[in-house]
Chains A and B, each alone.
Chain A
Amino acid sequence: MTDKNALELKDLSVAYRVGRRNRAVLRNVNLTIKAGEAYGLVGESGCGKSTVALSVVRYLPRNGSITGGSIALDGKDVMKLDAEALRRARADSVSMVYQDPGKALNPSLRIGRQLTEIFELAGVTGQAAEDKAVAMLNRVRISDPASVMQRYPHQLSGGMQQRVAIAMALANDPSMLILDEPTTGLDATVEAEVLDLIGQLRRELSASILFISHNLAVVSNMCDRVGVLYAGMLVEEGSTKDVFNDPRHPYTVALLRCLPRGGQRKDQGRLDTIPGFLPGIGANIVGCAFADRCALATERCRAEPPPLYELGDGRLSRCHYHDKAQSLPRATPAEIAATAPKQAPPVLQVEGLNKTYASHGRPLRAVKDVSVSLRPGETLGLVGESGSGKTTFARLLLGLVAPDDGGSIELEGKQLAPRLASRSEDQVKAVQIVFQNPDSALNRSHSIRHILSRALKRLGGLSGKTLDTRLEELVRSVRLTDRHLAVKPRQLSGGLKQRVAIARAFAGDPRIVVCDEPTSALDVSVQAAILNLLADLQSRQDVSYIFISHDLGVVRYLSDKIAVLYLGRIMEFGPSEAVFSGPHHPYTEALLSAVPKLDRTESSRIRLDGEIPSAANPPTGCVFHTRCPRKIGAICETQEPELTEAQPGHTIRCHIPYAELARLQKPKIVEPA
């Protein structure tokens, strides 16, 4: 590693013009990436991560401008480049890959054309360019490059599109590669593959990497050094290992505590949270930007902006009390009332539920023969990638979609009509939902008071004074106050909106609440508070949850039982601990292995090949056989395995006998302590 710096930001300040004011997004950011180094930049939404990336390539939005500082790429000041020199810099030395590859590729040009034009810039044309493009696609592990060259982006899956985007970024052999949330939005197994690819390419190439992500675990696996951005300022920097194991800024400390880690469960205590809010873009900050949310803050923190203290070993922290950072008191007490194990009869009993859609004239089995049962106060976690039927299953329960004939749903021993319209008022209020996106779930024209009152009226059957009393209780139970009632949803932050949505679901004392990715639109610190709230409400009201999430850590925290779905089928069902600790279905094994972990324990990795098949055209035999790393032979291709009971209450759909699975998975997924 040479001492040459691939990227050097000096006092970089960027502002966006909103209304007639310049609002600061980045404030005096200093950052250096050495040649060949991978640098991770983490932070919650709105902290300015992407602005850093766009400044480096000088592609800020129209209303954005660099208000101070300098950016040096390979020692050249980017801001002093004229149009032609800037173009040459983009062509020769810096490349960028960002989120949503489907949009990043031109929809009306073939992949081949989009690749060859890069080589043409370097003077390679015709067949030579084609050959180089094919080689590039090979390099990003695309198995059939010649045919991919002929395709249009919409004909490729998300994972393939991102590989192509990476191929395009690497085609000019850049010295600086910027990856801005490159795997956000991809399925877990696909994300793992793309991250593996990036990791491998790093070893093959000389490029320095700036890796931007909201996901701490992803960054910890990919990067040598990491910087934590807060309110447009770098608050901590150091080697990845140091920062994540021994954080020296209260923000980093708090952020790490928000994540459910190491198989933590709801009955082991609450997650910690970060109180308050990120300062708004352009806020006038006196003193430390984090002071308002920091339990360690003193008068000094509010008055005197902390400098970036150098702590040796290349460690930096923007905190007056960096030596005490780890003694940050918890914002939320950990202890939680223990709930006695229940032996009540099931609140929900689903038998042989099916849902078939018609897709281009062919049947698409979104949910196939699903049976589950759930007791009061329990959480059933639904796990699986896109197209697994999680959401369809939830909608069937709610009655928003009618199932095929045959199956049955019983609520507290009584048959539930397939259609919402034919369910009784009691049944309707008993099964409610918290949606993923509160912006969509809350009517933006109505005040919070209207939204909750209407729910209390329709679901709680209340009116007049009793409604007002109950409204107050309801609002308090989700830790909102009266002043939130008068506002419209858009005046609240994402976390507060989600609380309103939760309150609405609880208006009629539900028996079952479906939580459909309720925290995936939220930042980590907000997510923790919502998970705590859900756990509290559950222990108090004995409500059962159907909890859908792609984040296995979150699912594990909240769930008592887990159902793993793949192409509409339950592959594995059982008590949460049994499913997570294994032995488990090969698909579950792969899903668990795909989760990037903060504590870098290189465990036996299982990677899935190929794409998730279409539910309209599922593979024969075991639907997982096309991607299964433990396929045993022809039987997997011809005969669909039954869900068989491996242990009491734990069922697995696999031809491999349980004992054999146990043996195969013996050096089981290392469980982070």
Chain B
Amino acid sequence: MSATDTPASLPAPAPAPDTAQRSPWGEVLHSLSRSGTFLTGLFILLFWVVCALFGQHFVPYDPLASDIIDALTPPAADHWFGTDQLGRDVFSRVIVGSRDILTVAPLATILATIAGTALGLVIGYFRGIVDDIVSRVLEAFMAIPVVIIALLAIVALGTSKITVIVVIGLSFAPIIARTVRSAVLAERELDYVAAAKLRHEGALHTMFVEILPNVIPPILVETTVRLGYAIFAVATLSFMGFGIQPPSPDWGLSISSNYGMIGGGFWWTVLFDALAIASLVIGVNLVADGVHGAFND
């Protein structure tokens, strides 16, 4: 008896009744669109992105133009957030100040994601001695605070945006690599990987076509979380004088040059920058929290 002459009373099984669902990605998007956390975060993030892109066209003053006569005036109608010690308009500087950090931090995150994913895939897939050595080194590397790694690298390499991107990117890469590695370790034990071996698939196919699509969710979550930390790190480095350099109206930098005077009561020179950083960091982390929730429901 062959398959073709099976009697008509033997209908092909229909797909399971609950097929009429969204695709996995559709479900994630749906759950994101209903997550208040995510939407709030996205709103804050988009606000600062718009400021970074178009801020200089609508701010009332040139954020770099100093006006010594008007220096250190408290917030008032003509200077909503007051002026700093060089008489620059704080409001204009805060609005435009998102530009550098929103260039450097995402680029560093992208670098970290690409390097970390590649590294994590390779060590997770091949295991063995390479994995042992690399993971130990990564573990140790992660034990050193990013601030200190950056400090050392910048002392050695000099300060530039590129240095900051590379330093933050490379010091975050191990963290992403670790996440990817543990996801890959779980995946490679699954039978579809054995099935690929039983088709004589090459390592590259198995890693990138079979395994990679399944570890995208944790990578996405980790990337959004890392973006938050990249902003954290860039702001901190700028504050320490190792990040973005003058005359940029960068927030961390502004706080660094003005906080020495808070004892004198010139609070407006630092408060608004601090709140700006706070809102951006919290915004990105709300997004990350939303993404995490959507993937782990």
Contact = CB atoms under 8 A, between A and B. Distances in A.
B212 to A, nearest CB: 9
B143 interface: no
B3 A476 contact: yes
Main SS of chain B's interface residues? loop
A331 B195 contact: no
B201 A458 contact: yes
B19 interface: yes
B97 to A, nearest CB: 41
B213 interface: yes
A398 B191 contact: no
Contacts of B6: 479
A277 to B, nearest CB: 5
B192 A420 contact: no
Interface in B1-57: 1-4, 6-7, 9-19, 21, 23-24
A5 B24 CA distance: 48
A275 B13 contact: yes
A540 B2 contact: yes
Contacts of A529: 13
Contacts of B86: none
Given A331-B9, A400-B194, A488-B23, A479 B16 contact: no
Interface stretch (A240-248, A402-410, A440-448, A646-654): A440-448
A262 interface: no
A351 B28 CA distance: 53
A428 interface: yes
Interface of A: 275-277, 279-280, 283, 331-333, 336-337, 398, 400, 420-421, 425, 428, 431-433, 435, 437, 440-446, 454-455, 458-459, 476-477, 479-481, 483-484, 487-488, 490-493, 495-496, 499, 504, 529, 536, 539-540
18 contacts: A277-B14, A277-B16, A280-B17, A280-B18, A332-B10, A428-B198, A440-B190, A458-B200, A476-B3, A477-B3, A479-B3, A480-B12, A483-B15, A487-B19, A488-B24, A492-B15, A529-B13, A536-B3
B197 interface: yes
B183 to A, nearest CB: 13
B297 to A, nearest CB: 10
B199 A459 contact: yes
B289 interface: no
B100 interface: no
B160 interface: no
B214 interface: yes
B210 interface: yes
A101 B28 CA distance: 35
Contacts of A479: 3, 6, 10, 12-13
Contacts of B190: 440-441
B3 A432 contact: no
A230 to B, nearest CB: 15
Given A279-B17, A331-B9, A493-B16, A445 B214 contact: yes
Nearest to A516: B191
B16 A496 contact: yes
Q: Which of B190, B191, B200 has the most CB of A within 10 A?
A: B191
Name, among A398, A443, A446, the residue most crowded by chain B CB atoms within 10 Å (CB to CB): A443
Given A398-B198, A400-B198, A504-B195, A491 B21 contact: yes
B191 A496 contact: no
A428 B210 contact: no
B5 to A, nearest CB: 10
Contacts of A499: 13
Contacts of B12: 479-481
A618 to B, nearest CB: 27
- Counting chain B residues whose Cβ lies within 8 A of the other chain, the interface size class is 20 to 34
A480 B11 CA distance: 10
Nearest to B17: A280
Nearest to A454: B199
A375 B23 CA distance: 45
B195 to A, nearest CB: 6
A442 B199 CA distance: 14
Contacts of A443: 192, 210, 213-214
Contacts of A490: 24
Contacts of A435: 191, 194-195
B192 A442 contact: yes
B191 A441 contact: yes
Contact of A400 (B4, B16, B197, B210): B197
B9 A333 contact: yes
A441 B192 contact: yes
A437 B15 contact: no
Contacts of B197: 400, 420
Contacts of A428: 198-200
A491 B198 contact: no
A536 B18 CA distance: 29
Nearest to A491: B19
Contacts of B199: 428, 454-455, 458-459
Q: Which of B17, B199, B201, B210 has most chain A Cβ within 10 Å? A: B199
Given A428-B198, A540-B2, A484 B192 contact: no
B15 A491 contact: yes
Given A333-B10, A492-B15, 8 more contacts: A331-B9, A428-B200, A440-B192, A441-B195, A487-B15, A488-B23, A493-B13, A540-B3
Contacts of A477: 3
B13 A495 contact: yes
Q: Quick one: which of A398, A493, A499, A540 has the most chain B CB within 10 A?
A: A493
Nearest to A510: B198
Nearest to A482: B12
Contacts of A432: 198
Contacts of A277: 13-14, 16-17
B200 A425 contact: yes
Contacts of A331: 9-10
Contacts of B7: 333
Contacts of B2: 540
Nearest to B216: A445
A243 B14 CA distance: 30
Nearest to A283: B17
A277 B16 CA distance: 7
Nearest to B3: A477
A433 B198 contact: yes
A178 B45 CA distance: 54
B16 A491 contact: yes
Interface string B56-100: 000000000000000000000000000000000000000000000
A295 B200 CA distance: 46
Contacts of B210: 443
B9 A276 contact: no
A398 B1 CA distance: 29
A493 B18 CA distance: 9
**Which 5 A-B pairs rank lowest in CB-CB distance, beginning with the nearest?**
A445-B213, A493-B16, A441-B191, A458-B199, A435-B191
